[in-house]
Amino acid sequence: MNPNTNRRFPTRLDIRKGSVDMTHGSGGRAMAQLIDEIFVKHFNNELLCQGNDQAAFEVSGGRMVMSTDGHVISPLFFPGGDIGSLSVHGTINDVAMSGAIPLYLSAGFILEEGFPLADLEKIVISMAQAASDAGVPVITGDTKVVDKGSADGVFITTTGIGRIPDGVNISGELARPGDAILVSGSIGDHGIAIMSSRENLEFETTIESDSAALHGLIADMVSAVPAIHCLRDPTRGGLATTLNELAQQSQVGMNLKESSIPVKPAVSAACELLGLDPLYVANEGKLICICAQQDAQRLLQVMQAHPLGQQAAIIGEVIQNEHGFIQMETSFGGSRIVDWLTGEQLPRIC
């Protein structure tokens, strides 16, 4: 993206009826106009408006983090969000799970020839709104157009950078036997919201995606308990798969209590119908936290005091286990293993 707000074009883009064509990716005037009248107009911020192929900014000392995430979700618009807001939340969350304060985002768009400009603008507005709500501006970007059939509408890749406060060290390999495992709220909302809006599966539900930026919640948690061991957002593969990742990284096992894992009744009903297990259904606005047992109650209070953590719960504990098994006491009264997700439960969920 090479923004230049001073450039003017004889006729404005026909956003209402127009659609993306190959010239919008050509590097020529049509592309400049698209950038001006959609991207710069809505993302509008000082760094982006410098109009360079990169954005330059000051950094303070300390540890920086960087994370990138491609978004290929289908459908592009779903209950509770769209690919635009999701692409902002997803990357902010990946940055924030280190305990960092997210600072800036970049955005790369791959557009399919024929994609309606009205939809593109709607997505960009939603993205800009999400970035502005989060206080993390999109300061540089890129646009490419591919032939019809070579993509599905729009794919968005976002990269974020952030700074970790001094004294914070949060990482997936730091879970220790005895630690408490917390989750910030009900699981499976995003996956079920997406599924309910899929063309071949439409069913009526009031469930909305939980897509949200969690850095505010994390800032509160980190300031209350700087010694948090692990944070991770259970996106694809759900709670079960993310816990397995953490167990493997830390070479520990876990014991969960099924009855303490929050699941909305509508989500469990939809899972029942579709033959899914909510433990494996994706989330976009939830986090898993692992901390020392003595910090658990304090963290739980802080989480429950934040709007995005009201349903937070302690769901189990870390144990010593050479196989890295995650076991669960079922609500029914038996026990079972909670394994990695096998195969593909639902493609293109984020």
Q: Toward other proteins, which CB reaches closer, 77 or 325?
A: 325
Q: Shortest distance, CB of residue 110 to other proteins, whole angstroms?
A: 22
Backbone conformation region of residue 269, classed left if phi is above 0, alpha if psi is from -120 to 50, else beta: alpha
Please give the size of the binding site for other proteins, defined by CB under 8 A: 23
| 215-224 vs 293-305: helix crossing angle, rounded to 10 | 140
Q: Toward other proteins, which CB reaches closer, 149 or 343?
A: 343
The DSSP symbol for 107 reads: E
Rounded Cα distance between 306 and 309, Å, is 5
Q: Is 66 in the site for other proteins (CB under 8 A)?
A: no
Q: Shortest distance, CB of residue 254 to other proteins, whole angstroms?
A: 11
Q: Toward other proteins, which CB reaches closer, 7 or 257?
A: 257
Q: What angle do CA 272, 275, 277 make, to 5 degrees?
A: 80
Which position among 26, 272, 298, 310 is part of the footprint of other proteins (CB under 8 A)?
272
Q: Shortest distance, CB of residue 192 to other proteins, whole angstroms?
A: 14
Which position among 61, 167, 265, 307 is part of the footprint of other proteins (CB under 8 A)?
265
Q: Is 268 in the site for other proteins (CB under 8 A)?
A: yes
Q: Shortest distance, CB of residue 328 to other proteins, whole angstroms?
A: 8
Interface stretch with other proteins, choices 53-61, 110-118, 149-157, 338-346 (CB under 8 A): 338-346
Q: Is 336 in the site for other proteins (CB under 8 A)?
A: yes
Interface stretch with other proteins, choices 17-25, 110-118, 225-233, 339-347 (CB under 8 A): 339-347
Q: Shortest distance, CB of residue 235 to other proteins, whole angstroms?
A: 20
Provide the 3-class DSSP secondary structure of residue 68. Answer: strand
Q: Is 173 in the site for other proteins (CB under 8 A)?
A: no
Kindly give, in sequence order, each residue whose CB lies less than 8 Å from that of residue 53, ignoring residues fewer than 6 positions away: 1, 2, 140
Q: Shortest distance, CB of residue 264 to other proteins, whole angstroms?
A: 10
CA gyration radius, the chain:
21
Q: Shortest distance, CB of residue 46 to other proteins, whole angstroms?
A: 47
Q: Toward other proteins, which CB reaches closer, 138 or 192?
A: 192
Which position among 22, 66, 305, 337 is part of the footprint of other proteins (CB under 8 A)?
337
Dihedral sign of CA atoms 200, 202, 207, 208 in order: positive
- What's phi and psi for 81, nearest 5 deg? 165, -170
Q: Toward other proteins, which CB reaches closer, 293 or 331?
A: 331
Q: Shortest distance, CB of residue 332 to other proteins, whole angstroms?
A: 4
Q: Shortest distance, CB of residue 291 to other proteins, whole angstroms?
A: 25
Residue ranges in 275-334 that form contacts with other proteins under rule CB under 8 A: 277, 323, 325, 327, 329-334
Residue ranges in 191-210 that form contacts with other proteins under rule CB under 8 A: 200-201
Look up residue 292 and give its two tokens: 């020392």
- What's phi and psi for 349, nearest 5 deg? -95, -15
What residue ranges bind other proteins (CB under 8 A)?
A: 200-201, 259, 265, 268-269, 272, 277, 323, 325, 327, 329-337, 339, 342-343
